Amino acid sequence: MAPSTKEKKEKKPSKSATKNAKGKAIAIGATASTGVENVAEELRKLVIDPNRSAAGVLTSQKDSRDIKVEGFSLMYYSQILVTDSTLEFNYGRRYGLLGPNGCEIYEHEKLIWTFKGKSTFLKCLAAREVPIPDHIDIYLLNEEYPPTEMTALEAVIEFAEKEIK
């Protein structure tokens, strides 16, 4: 038999629930003293630039080693850097972005890309501002390449030749 409405109203909360509800928010699975502090620390570690905005849809399989993001767009402040593009990274391949600081126009066969903000793009990927499966490791090294007399293209070709040998 179901309890009457009067019986429902008379039910009192347990003692532990009343102790926890006295003005302190408790994170699930944590104590009051460490829960909020842990969340605050995790948020401090999260490096997302509020001036950068990225969007895209992961179209590759979630368990795949390859990454394909369609409809990728990237803005920094109010400047559009990339709009409605497809990103595709295949397992075992190395990728690099070459070009002068500022803006690059890249022409290859029938493709012409205008690309600005190479480091902004890499930081966006490293911060996982677009959907990238969790099993994919991403490391971003914010360090310059040591000075050399070679051009960037010559350095890439030399590295590829060493890798082949």
Q: Which of 4-8, 23-27, 86-90 has the lowest mean pLDDT?
A: 23-27
At residue 7, the 3 state secondary structure works out as helix
Q: What pTM does this model have?
A: 0.53
Q: What is the count of structural domains for the chain?
A: 1
Residue at 82 is within a domain? yes
Residue at 136 is within a domain? yes
pLDDT digits (tens, 9 = 90+) for 63-75: 899 999 999 998 8
pLDDT digits (tens, 9 = 90+) for 14-51: 444 444 444 444 444 444 556 777 776 766 666 667 77
Domain ranges, residue 81:
52-142
CA dihedral 138→139→142→143, nearest 10 degrees, is -130
Query: Quick one: average pLDDT of 89-115?
Result: 63
What are the structure tokens assigned to 97, written together?
A: 């972005």
